[in-house]
Amino acid sequence: MSQIYCLPPKNFTNYELLDCGNFEKLERFSDVITIRPEPQAVWSKQWDNKEWLKQAHYKFIPTSSSSGQWKQLKNAPEQWVLEYLLSYKNKQSAIRFRLGLTSFKHVGVFPEQASNWDIIYEHIQNFKVSGLATPKVLNLFAYTGGASLAAKAAGADVIHVDSIKQVVTWANENSQLSKLDNIRWVVEDALKYVKRELKRGNKYHGIILDPPAFGHGPNGEKWKLEEHINEMVSHVLELLDPQKHFLILNAYSLGMSSIIIENLLKAKATDSLQIGELYISAASGVKLPLGVFGRFVKNNHL
């Protein structure tokens, strides 16, 4: 087991964290710059407010604990496209995201996850080289599909599961922008879906989980990370193919430790387990933590 730290790869050239502090972050997504709330940024801003407002096109104004409105500061589109280049050995693939302003502060991508997209892309190609023609991948709590797109671009058979229909539709748009098809889209509570897959006896070569701190299924099912993550991980570990598999678990929740991730995964992962903290370095010089992760891989015939 190793403790490591991951930054978004350098080939995410059209995204940049400019500054963060005072519970906000200033980010550039392609040509659009936004100001959004960031509960992890408890320190002071490195740049003054005048510089932030001079650069930003939009600022998110919270109106409740879970929603708000965007204030336009300069002319800019309300929807635009962001591209990320996946690259491993002699293969390259571009995945694309349709970004937009939402009432819950997100814009349609979590840039810190790019390091995981690269790992997914690499593992699937290695599986194929070692004789597995079409690895089967399950993406749970899949949001707008960054991990799904990375897996599909590498040649996997992908099942994408999220409980919100509009978000799954958004992910489908991203797959079309990326010229990737035949992803199976599932609107379902993730824990219920995993339990059904166990009963069916299905196995997967790759599983990705990026659960929220709190959430709801399409039929009102309640998800609370601390209460349900142990059950979820226990079931997911049973779904892994015994010979070839990888698993990536992310957790973005205040106070969540990578040691918790280690304890959840170490019995299955043995020596290949990597745990750590995702962060992004800002242009202003500070580092913004954006969750903890654990990941491991097994490839018996590589």
How does pLDDT run along the chain (302 residues), one tens digit per residue? 555 666 665 678 899 999 999 999 999 999 999 999 999 999 999 999 999 999 999 999 999 988 999 999 999 999 999 999 999 998 999 999 999 999 999 999 999 999 999 999 999 999 999 999 999 999 999 999 999 999 999 999 999 999 999 999 999 999 999 999 999 999 999 999 999 999 999 999 999 999 988 787 888 888 788 889 999 999 999 999 999 999 999 998 767 888 899 999 987 776 689 998 899 999 999 999 999 999 999 988 64
Contact status, residue 297 vs residue 271, Cβ threshold 8 Å: no
> For the purposes of burial, counting CB atoms within 10 Å of the CB of 162, is it exposed (0-12), middle (13-18) or buried (19 or more)?
buried
Question: What is the Cα–Cα distance from 186 to 196, expressed in whole angstroms?
Answer: 13
Using alpha carbons only, what angle is made at residue 19 by residues 13 and 21, rounded to the nearest 5 degrees?
A: 145
Torsion of CA 20, 209, 162, 94, to 10 degrees: 70
- The domain limits of the chain are 2-299
Q: Model's pTM, two decimal places?
A: 0.94
Contacts of 219 (CB under 8 A, 6+ apart): 189
The CATH class of 2-299 is alpha beta
